[in-house]
Chains A and B, each alone.
Chain A
Amino acid sequence: MTVTLGMPTYLTRPPDQPAPTLTTPQPVTNLDELIDGTAACSCEAGDDNPH
């Protein structure tokens, strides 16, 4: 979502990545890439922040 009030181009969420339409099973070599694209924290501080 892009907001136009106060912060004109502040993107609150990353652009949607349409899910692929599969007809056959497809290997995923690196699951991290799948997670990072859809379900990982953008700033890292809220995700994998070491403590």
Chain B
Amino acid sequence: MHDLIVAPFLDTYLVLHPGASSGIQLPSGHYDTLAACDGHGPVPGWLTDLAASQWALALDPARPLRETVLVRPRSSFGYSRASWEINLGCNYACSHCYLGLKEFSGLPWEQKARLIHMLADAGAVWLQITGGEPTIDRHFVDAYTLAFQLGMMITVSTNGSRLWHPDLLDLFTRLPPYRIVVSVYGATEESYDGLTQRRGSFNAFTRGLAAAREGKLPIRLNIVVTSVNGHESDQMVALAEQFGHDHAVYVNMTPTIHGGGETLTVQSAEHLRQRKPFGGCNAGHTFFHVDPHGLASICKVGRDDQINLMGPEGLEALRGLHTVADRLMLRTGGCSGCQLAGTCRVCRPLAKHYQQAKAPLSFYCQHGTPQPQERTTTS
């Protein structure tokens, strides 16, 4: 398996080492030199030196370039990042989940493999595999492996309940992920199991997290604060800090992707914060999302006008996503006639979900009393 990935990233070129959070930017000439190689010769000395200085990586001089370095081609699609819900099925039943009804369904393996090739062909260097709970999908290991083989830096978004499983630990040790993001639903068994509505989930989480730490996996914790566990928010942060994990705190839930407002009723009112003002988004232009059935959208929230990548056009259909993105970002339905539209700072697809859910304006409109902004990230 490759030690290095050399890949175009938007208008730049990167050298990446799987599992590493640092990289190297290359001049285009260096990339062209590598891309033109037939790969039978050794790794160029300059690249060997860079790998040694950046990651203390000693490349085997006896291995040819093609076995050591995966040089990814330029993509005419120009995407750099993608997220993929491998399956919406989940082993938990959290009331705050923005996916709403989490049906266990997805593509058969042959179609999954075809889709993963499309993600690579679209130019995605970073891939987030999410769900539902992705690790319970029966093709998760194969899908992760294929994405890795194609030169993607993979983030897995998980509840951590299966991280202790030997098959997963072996997978993540052999083929290092860029990151494993674990949601945190409580600091005690009572609140955690209460939020997930699954007895034993806290024990599975702590077991999984301990195994991930033992395996030195690159963990980030996403702390979810709701009315069920709000009294433990400080404890959850302390848990992350105790083990030195990067973490983010999420206090604002969003309506479901179907426009349901049931998720909003479990928000912790005392923890709510104003969202970061919208300042433009590259959704659909530099990154995109794909659901379990191969339907591409600009992101996880803006799912209107999905593009079927499994259709006869295949990946070519994705070229229409830019137009979809521009259209969705400009749609003002529900805010028509607002006298303050000139200073609107809300993501339009997100606003649409709130409006469908008939949520109070204060839940999403930025025109109001300034409050502390959402999300704190520390490391």
Binding site for B on A (CB under 8 A): 1, 3, 6-15, 19-20, 22-32, 34-35, 38-51
Contacts and interface: CB of A to CB of B under 8 A. Distances in A.
Contact of A10 (B21, B286, B330): B330
Nearest to A3: B330
Contacts of A8: 341-342
Which interface class (under 10, 10 to 19, 20 to 34, 35 or more) fits B? 35 or more
Interface centre among A13, A31, A38, A46, by most chain B C-beta atoms within 10 angstroms, is A46
Contacts of A29: 22
Contacts of B46: 25
26 contacts: A3-B330, A7-B342, A8-B342, A11-B280, A12-B330, A13-B282, A13-B285, A13-B329, A22-B25, A24-B27, A30-B21, A31-B23, A35-B81, A38-B80, A39-B10, A39-B126, A41-B281, A41-B283, A42-B347, A43-B275, A45-B275, A45-B300, A48-B248, A49-B98, A49-B250, A50-B223
B224 to A, nearest CB: 5
Nearest to B297: A46
Nearest to B94: A51
B43 to A, nearest CB: 14
Nearest to B328: A12
B11 interface: yes
B101 to A, nearest CB: 13
A46 B301 contact: yes
Given A14-B280, A34-B9, A50-B250, 7 more contacts: A1-B326, A25-B27, A25-B50, A26-B25, A27-B25, A31-B21, A49-B98
A46 B347 contact: yes
A42 B96 CA distance: 21
B83 interface: yes
Contacts of B114: none
A39 B26 contact: no
A19 B10 contact: yes
A42 B126 CA distance: 17
A25 B54 CA distance: 11
Interface of B: 9-12, 14-16, 21-28, 30, 46, 50, 54, 80-81, 83, 94, 96-99, 126, 130, 153, 157, 178, 181, 183, 222-224, 248, 250, 252, 254, 275-276, 278-283, 285-287, 289, 298-302, 326, 329-330, 332, 341-344, 347, 349-350, 374-375
A43 B287 CA distance: 14
A28 B14 contact: yes
A1 B282 CA distance: 10
A31 B125 CA distance: 12
A14 B282 contact: yes
A31 B22 contact: yes
Contacts of A25: 15, 24-27, 30, 46, 50
A31 to B, nearest CB: 5
B102 to A, nearest CB: 9
B237 to A, nearest CB: 14
Contact of B24 (A6, A23, A26, A51): A26
Contacts of A15: 280
B127 to A, nearest CB: 12
